[in-house]
């Protein structure tokens, strides 16, 4: 499903570079032993940016919940309405989540609690890859 192409910035470039290499990484604060996503320039818990590192994760997770979007303000998504948007909790830490259109899952037939695995989709304008998730059958 076509999406806007994200423009990497200094603080999140390692995330997007990893996507282009087919790897999923998230930030980890070494001082707090705490994963976080989306990336930040500082750890919200300890306030330090000095202890942030990038950690590769398994790319496995579970579907927490979802909604079905019928009226998006984002132009490039409107042609595919209605579409699923699921919240994916990472296997390594369910407190960290990502969003997904769940490619391959029919609209409004989302199996909440099901296992999912990450894939990477290229966005049309720049080719930047972004994470997506598919239900593991």
- Binding residues (CB under 8 A) for another protein: these are 3-7, 9, 12, 35-38, 44-45, 64-77, 82, 85, 87, 89, 93, 95-101, 108, 112, 123-126, 130
Structure tokens at 72: 């998006």
Q: Angle at Cα 91 formed by Cα 37 and Cα 25, nearest 5°?
A: 40
Least separation in angstroms between residue 22's CB and another protein is: 18
CB of 66 to another protein, least distance (A): 6
If the CB atoms of residues 67 and 104 are measured against another protein, the closer one turns out to be 67
Cβ closest to another protein, residue 23 vs residue 80: 80
Q: Which residues contact 112 (CB under 8 A, 6 or more apart)?
A: 63, 64, 65, 66
Query: What token pair was written down for 61?
Result: 């997770």
Which tokens is 71 given? 């009226």
| Nearer Cβ to another protein (72/115) | 72
């Amino acid at each position: 499903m076509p999406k806007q192409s994200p423009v990497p910035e200094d603080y999140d470039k390692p995330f997007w570079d990893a996507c282009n290499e087919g790897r999923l990484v998230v930030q980890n604060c070494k001082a707090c032993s705490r994963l976080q996503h989306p990336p930040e320039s500082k750890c919200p818990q300890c306030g330090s940016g000095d202890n942030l590192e990038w950690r590769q994760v398994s790319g496995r997770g579970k579907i927490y919940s979802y909604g079905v979007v019928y009226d998006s303000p984002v132009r490039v998504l409107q042609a595919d309405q209605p579409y699923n948007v699921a919240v994916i909790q990472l296997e390594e830490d369910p407190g960290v989540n990502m969003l997904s259109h769940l490619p391959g899952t029919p609209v409004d037939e989302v199996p909440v609690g099901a296992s999912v695995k990450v894939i990477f989709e290229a966005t049309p304008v720049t080719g930047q890859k972004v994470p997506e998730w598919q239900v593991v059958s």
